[in-house]
Amino acid sequence: MSAGMLYTIGFVIALIIALIMTPLVKKFAFKIGAIDKPNHRKVHTRIMPRLGGLAIYIAFVAAFLLLLPFMPGDLLRPRDMNLIRALFTGGTLIIILGAFDDRLELSAKLKLVVQIAAACVVVFGFGIKIDLVNVPFGDAMQPIASWVSIPLTIIWIVGVTNAINLIDGLDGLAAGVSGIAILTILIMASLMGNEAIILLCVLLLGGIVGFMFFNFHPAKIFMGDSGSLFLGFSLATLSMLGFKQVTIVSFVTPLLVIGVPLSDTFFAIVRRKLNNRPIFEPDRGHLHHRLRDLGFSHRRTVLIIWGVAAIFGGFAIIQSAVVQSSAANWVTFGVICLILFGLQIGAEITGIVDKTRRPVINLFSRMLRIKVDAESRTHSK
């Protein structure tokens, strides 16, 4: 079986399994009491079943096992199988954590401990870690000492896992943003010829698309922490593994892949610090909350954030496509400047950090007024 045929069949199988499993998981969630009740922070007005991430996980794992006998030998090399086992083992631990949290609402400290344990499984159990980095305008890949690479990898996995969890506030939002990020990694892995990463991304994408039939507004089921934590963990691992074999890669690229959840998390930390509130205390200041407060409908808010995620993904693909060219450093510098400027303007427009402070927009407004006044004086003469 050709690789292209394998990927296509894998996507379809994962999608079909997700379509079948999601209604069953919905019934199971109601049966065990894994439900989400409305409150002042949430936009839904009725009791909703959680645990939807379990359907994505089952679709992902089942599709892989069904394809396993038909996989060509080059997909089953020891190195690639080690990567696959790391994702499956750590992902299983995370999905168990998320499922218990959907039912019992575990404490933040306990969830953090289990997330660190899952990251340690990847690092110490399978030897997967960030051991090379290329800083823009650097000459070559620079090795990182273990005492730096191990905590850096654990922080990356735990951070991304929680970043997806933080944006899971509207129907289809976290699933769509995760799907766009996985599609981005899929395209980049295709450019690099990393077949194992391509297969894993295809299967995850199939599971997400199948689940989205029940999760887009108006949702019939939420993915819950089981879904957001599992997708976050998968994204963290795949984004790290997908670039591990690249000869020259900027540290910017994996940040762009998950730019929306990471930037929303960053703004949440800044906002809570400015307001003297605990970093882990939930609030209504996330991007989706602010867009809703600005008058956008539920669906339009989700589509806007999907669009922003697609822009981040496009920049990541461009960055990946030129990493081996002579212009790579300048492209990286340009991408960073555009992203930082866009984030600042977006933060000021939406009020995601502060609803009253708009330094850059006010600066441009003053410059525009000065120009208009100067032109008016010129014409009056």
Answer for the pair 221, 22: CB distance below 8 angstroms, yes or no. yes
Answer for the pair 228, 164: CB distance below 8 angstroms, yes or no. yes
3-state secondary structure of 44: coil
Measured between alpha carbons, how far is 252 from 315 in angstroms, rounded to an integer?
Answer: 10
Q: Which residues pair with 133 in a beta bridge?
A: 142
* Token duo for residue 171: 């129907």
3-state secondary structure of 296: coil
Q: What angle in degrees, to the nearest 10, is found between the helix axes of 224-242 and 173-192?
A: 20
Measure CA of the first residue to CA of the last residue in the chain; give whole Å. Answer: 79
The angle formed by the CA atoms of residues 197, 177 and 265, to the nearest 5 degrees, is 105
Flag whether 283 is marked binding. Answer: no
Answer for the pair 14, 59: CB distance below 8 angstroms, yes or no. yes
DSSP 219: P
Flag whether 165 is marked binding. Answer: yes
Q: Which residues pair with 35 in a beta bridge?
A: 49
Beta-carbon contacts of residue 159 (< 8 Å; ≥ 6 apart): 236, 262, 265
Annotated binding site: 165, 225
Annotated binding site for Mg(2+): 165, 225
